[in-house]
């Protein structure tokens, strides 16, 4: 447990950053532009394309040792572990945690053939992916002019114990959020740039059939479906509001207009206030009764700003939170995964970290050396899946709530986002 003197004075939100520009990506964007735009990934930040390093192609042909990103005991094969879907630039991979095999889903041809490549832009990537009943939904798209998300294709991909079936195009949207019943999907067609038009959202099922009329979002961006309505955010990337899906009425969500949303769940929203000097805290606001729980953070740490890295547990009483640490010179030193016990107001750091900085400067498409690897988390039952990527390879781990981190060996391909197919819940003994 951290004491009340913890603060993020040296690494809190930068008051001079442009609205909506994540801190960690502002620090590394210039270097990451070469690797990530070359790989075709959509990051949700404005990266300017630059020529590849002169020796990158030659270096990529040399044999490379894949570095481990997560430490821990070996995760033993078990058929009950289910399937993970890892989303990256131009690729969606299936990872069978039972036999620990990894293979591309082959969506590049299949999905583009269904939707038509001309509608998705020159370099579509997996922007969002989420678990639903019977499989996953994935949003495939590119950026519009100015780096804002363009309208992309939403697919439902059935997943069973035998693998993934053919994807089904169900909607065209800029953003998606899974409904509370875990079957249906809210999709939004936002204006580009956001805020220049009202934007609209509606509910569809896994076949693409509309279940609601189109609802205007008042220039807001869809974040999540909650017990109090649709949680949305303005185009600045700050604050949050609730919109009644029946009437369209907007009301406050208990998040200040200049705060930064860290995570959103059906019952709660986690946020940090804008930095104005002094200590910063993590706030977790209940959307049911407005209760605000304040959690002190360790010194010189800040939650990762990569899209949707944090996740509330199924019961809403825990929050998994990747956080980056800096030294006294404000240089990033690594990323660790923390779990917040909301009721006890306790923060614990998981074993197996910190995830080191990237150390592979010559690999085309990789996160530049000295930059933090990207870490995402997802709860499955009472356990937590963790995926780390350096932009070239990825590594998967599972934490059962106690004991060591259980890890798989690195697998090829970047995984900037991922989902756990239904039924992928490891036994408590793992």
Is the pLDDT higher at 349 or at 58? 349
H or E segment and range at residue 385: strand 383-389
Is 17 domain-assigned?
Answer: no
Tell me whether residue 303 is in a domain: yes
Q: Tell me which residue has tokens 């195009």.
A: 169
Other C-beta atoms lying within 10 Å of the C-beta of residue 403: 12
6 within domain boundaries: no
Q: What is the CA radius of gyration of the chain?
A: 20
Q: Which domain holds residue 270?
A: 23-55+66-420
Backbone angles phi and psi of 308, in degrees to 5: 55, 50
Q: Quick one: average pLDDT of 401-429? A: 76
Closest CA to 177 of 143, 129, 219, 115: 129
Indicate the number of domains in the chain. Answer: 1
Lowest mean per-residue pLDDT among 103-112, 219-228, 373-382: 103-112
Is residue 4 one of the residues assigned to a domain? no
State pLDDT tens for residues 213-259: 999 988 889 999 999 999 999 877 789 999 999 999 999 999 999 89
Domain-located, residue 427: no
263 inside domain = yes
Question: Which run of H or of E encompasses 37?
Answer: helix 23-39
pLDDT at residue 366, as a whole number: 60
Q: Could you report the per-residue pLDDT of 281-337, keeping only the tens digit for each?
A: 899 999 999 999 999 888 888 887 655 667 998 888 899 999 988 888 888 888 999
Establish if 425 belongs to a structural domain: no
Mean pLDDT of 45-68: 42
CA 349 to chain centre: 19
Residue 430 in domain: no
- The CATH number of the domain holding residue 359 is 2.130.10.10
User: Token pair of 327, please?
Assistant: 């030294």
């Amino acid at each position: 447990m951290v004491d009340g003197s913890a603060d993020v004075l040296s690494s809190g939100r930068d008051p001079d950053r442009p609205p909506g520009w994540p801190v960690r990506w502002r620090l590394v964007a210039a270097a990451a532009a070469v690797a990530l735009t070359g790989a075709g990934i959509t990051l949700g930040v404005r990266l300017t394309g630059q020529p590849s390093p002169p020796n990158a192609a030659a270096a990529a042909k040399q044999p490379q040792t894949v570095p481990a990103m997560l430490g821990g005991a070996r995760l033993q094969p078990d058929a009950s572990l289910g399937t993970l879907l890892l989303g990256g630039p131009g690729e969606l991979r299936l990872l069978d945690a039972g036999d620990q095999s990894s293979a591309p889903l082959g969506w590049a041809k299949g999905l583009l053939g269904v939707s038509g490549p001309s509608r998705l832009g020159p370099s579509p990537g997996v922007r969002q992916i989420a678990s639903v009943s019977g499989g996953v939904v994935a949003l495939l798209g590119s950026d519009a002019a100015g780096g804002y998300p363009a309208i992309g294709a939403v697919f439902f991909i059935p997943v069973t114990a035998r693998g993934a079936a053919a994807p089904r195009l169900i909607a065209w949207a800029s953003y998606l959020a899974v409904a509370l019943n875990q079957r249906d999907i809210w999709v939004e067609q936002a204006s580009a740039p956001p805020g220049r038009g009202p934007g609209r959202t509606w509910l569809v099922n896994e076949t693409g059939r509309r279940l609601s009329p189109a609802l205007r979002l008042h220039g807001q961006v869809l974040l999540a479906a909650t017990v109090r309505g649709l949680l949305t955010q303005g185009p600045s990337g700050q604050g949050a509001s609730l919109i009644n899906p029946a009437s369209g009425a907007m009301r406050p969500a208990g998040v200040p207009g200049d705060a930064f949303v860290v995570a959103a769940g059906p019952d709660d929203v986690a946020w940090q206030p804008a930095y104005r000097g002094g200590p910063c805290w993590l706030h977790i606001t209940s959307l049911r009764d407005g209760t605000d729980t304040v959690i002190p953070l360790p010194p010189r740490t800040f939650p990762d700003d990569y899209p949707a890295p944090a996740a509330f547990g199924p019961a809403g009483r825990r929050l998994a939170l990747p956080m980056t640490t800096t030294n006294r010179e404000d240089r990033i030193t690594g990323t660790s995964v923390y779990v917040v016990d909301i009721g006890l107001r306790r923060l614990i750091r998981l074993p197996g970290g910190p995830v080191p900085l990237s150390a592979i400067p010559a690999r085309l498409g990789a996160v530049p050396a000295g930059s933090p690897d990207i870490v995402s988390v997802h709860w499955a039952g009472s356990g937590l899946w963790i995926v780390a990527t350096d932009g070239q390879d990825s590594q998967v781990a599972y934490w059962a709530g106690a004991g060591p981190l259980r890890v798989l060996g690195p697998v090829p391909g970047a995984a900037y986002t991922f989902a756990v197919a239904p039924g992928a819940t490891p036994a408590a003994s793992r």
